[in-house]
Amino acid sequence: MFESDRQDLLESSLWKPLDKRLGYIEAGDYYDAGTARSPYYKSDYLQDSEVEDWLSQTGRFATDAQCSLRVLMCERLNFERLGFAMSKRSFLSAETTFSLRPEALPILNLHRGQYYSNIMWDGADDNESMSSIAVTIKVPQMFQLGNFGLSLTHTLKSGTTMALVHGWNIWTNTLPNGDRVEPHHSKIEKLIKSTHSLWTHPLLLPLVFLREHLSRAEMQSSKLYGEVQTIESNLGIERTGRLAMIEIGVTDQMKQLLGQEEKRTDLMSKLTSASTDVSNVTRVLKWDKECIHFLQQVKGQIDKCHGPSAVAQDSELSSLIQFMYCHVESAGNFTYFLHSKLQTQLNVLYNLIAHTNAEINLRIASTTGLDSAAMKTLTFVTIAFLPATFIAYANV
């Protein structure tokens, strides 16, 4: 069903290999007589011409370690048109080697959020068992938080996860608005390095993926909180918290708001922009929460196929999922709080504008009344004191 969409995207997407826009992560263990001796971890940039060697672990990519994680990370090019900083040939090779599902490419093209899983069963014996699982996740597009996707396949027997990560700022450090940001690969690497005991679990990468997304949401929420405080300061009417102990009085900024329409319009623009950003972050956090719940359901299916040896690992991952669920719940509550504060400030500004307009209308009405009285007086004086020759009359 997805094959038609996949073929269309293969033809319409931009395939443009670029230097330092493609790289990889490998993680696993060195084994000695079947016992893990020491962890193995490696990450580096890739030239497009090296993708085949890396996929086959030949040449300079040959290793004695048994890799549990193999991740190809590619920068996204363009916005409306899906773009990859790699050749189509390299993508197809990765797709084949990683056994990526046909729906992976269409999902990576979505601007809204999407998550999907597919379980493959081994029916060779009488008791069907899970042989592998594919998970594809694409976060909702919001450049401050990220616009990236993940498609992976995990083989349960070997405990190996192979994945493609694709999106903005995977390797670059500049947002579309010019702000600097830490590339996603740096955070992802740190998180993977700190979770050695979970390298063989199929849901580690999705959780690392979402944790990076949540960290961006935290940064954006802190920035928005600062903007809300600035707006409250400009309005100058709040007397709560530490401000309750300070007699601020009528500030110059408040006088400017009362007297200058440009100042009021500028503040209205900042208020509506901040309110929109808060709404967008709230929407994305709601999606993150739903995605974590989705991963919890997938984990329930995996647990049924994991043996007793994986109990400790499953328990650790459950704790991680629970922590992230509570974390996103808290982050969402904070953005709801910001949204309510902005609504209060909007109401204050609307009332201020209405009050200012009412004063202007009152002045106009008063001036009009004075002008009317003056004209009546002038007419009376003219009739009373001008000579009769100046008074017009009509001949009958």
Residue 39 pLDDT more than 60? yes
Mean of pLDDT values over 41-50: 96
What gap in Å lies between CA 369 and CA 158, rounded to an integer?
Answer: 91
Q: Given this model, what pLDDT does residue 94 score?
A: 97
Q: Given this model, what pLDDT does residue 52 score?
A: 97
Contacts 24+ apart (CB under 8 A), 187-196: 187/212, 187/215, 188/25, 188/73, 188/212, 189/25, 189/43, 192/25, 192/27, 192/41, 192/69, 193/27, 193/41, 196/27, 196/39
Mean of pLDDT values over 267-290: 90
Quickly count: other Cβ atoms within 10 Å of residue 28's Cβ: 22
Q: pTM, whole model, 2 decimals?
A: 0.82
Residue 233 pLDDT more than 80? no
Share the mean pLDDT of the chain.
Answer: 84
Question: Is there a contact between 153 and 118 (Cβ–Cβ < 8 Å)?
Answer: no
Mean of pLDDT values over 247-260: 57
Mean of pLDDT values over 233-246: 58
Q: Given this model, what pLDDT does residue 395 score?
A: 55
Mean of pLDDT values over 307-334: 87
**How far does the chain reach from its first CA to its final CA, in angstroms?**
96
Residue 309 pLDDT more than 70? no
Residue 44 pLDDT more than 50? yes
Residue 96 pLDDT more than 50? yes
Lowest mean pLDDT among 23-37, 41-55, 333-347, 364-378: 364-378
SS3 category, 171: coil
Q: In terms of C-beta density within 10 A (0-12 exposed, 13-18 middle, 19 or more buried), how is residue 45 classed?
A: middle
Q: Given this model, what pLDDT does residue 11 score?
A: 95
Residue 303 pLDDT more than 90? no
Q: Given this model, what pLDDT does residue 396 score?
A: 47
Residue 12 pLDDT more than 90? yes
Predicted confidence band of residue 266 (pLDDT cuts 50, 70, 90): confident
Q: Given this model, what pLDDT does residue 187 score?
A: 94
HEC readout, 263-332:
HHHHHHHHHHHHHHHHHHHHHHHHHHHHHHHHHHHHHHHHHCCCCHHHHHHHHHHHHHHHHHHHHHHHHH
Q: Given this model, what pLDDT does residue 390 score?
A: 47
Q: Tens of pLDDT along 139-174?
A: 999 988 989 999 999 998 888 999 999 999 999 999
Question: Is there a contact between 43 and 25 (Cβ–Cβ < 8 Å)?
Answer: yes
Nearest to 203 by CA among 163, 173, 253: 163
Question: Is there a contact between 12 and 82 (Cβ–Cβ < 8 Å)?
Answer: yes
Which one is predicted more confidently, 318 or 254? 318
Nearest to 339 by CA among 242, 265, 347: 347
Q: Given this model, what pLDDT does residue 260 score?
A: 65
According to DSSP, the β-strands at 114-122 and 83-84 are: unpaired
Q: Given this model, what pLDDT does residue 107 score?
A: 95
Lowest mean pLDDT among 61-65, 138-142, 164-168, 228-232: 228-232
Which structure tokens are listed for 274?
A: 């901040």
Question: Is there a contact between 226 and 270 (Cβ–Cβ < 8 Å)?
Answer: no
Contacts of 157 (CB under 8 A, 6+ apart): 131
Q: Given this model, what pLDDT does residue 1 score?
A: 67
Mean of pLDDT values over 214-222: 91
What gap in Å lies between CA 152 and CA 98, rounded to an integer?
Answer: 7
In the chain the beta strands, taken as DSSP E runs, fall at 14-15, 22-32, 35-45, 66-77, 83-84, 114-122, 129-138, 148-155, 160-167
Predicted confidence band of residue 255 (pLDDT cuts 50, 70, 90): low
Which one is predicted more confidently, 1 or 178? 178
Question: Is there a contact between 226 and 336 (Cβ–Cβ < 8 Å)?
Answer: no
Contacts of 23 (CB under 8 A, 6+ apart): 43, 44, 45, 46, 73, 171, 185
Contacts of 65 (CB under 8 A, 6+ apart): 26, 28, 29, 30, 40
Residue 71: phi and psi, rounded to 5, are -125, 125
What gap in Å lies between CA 165 and CA 149, rounded to an integer?
Answer: 6
What gap in Å lies between CA 77 and CA 93, rounded to an integer?
Answer: 20
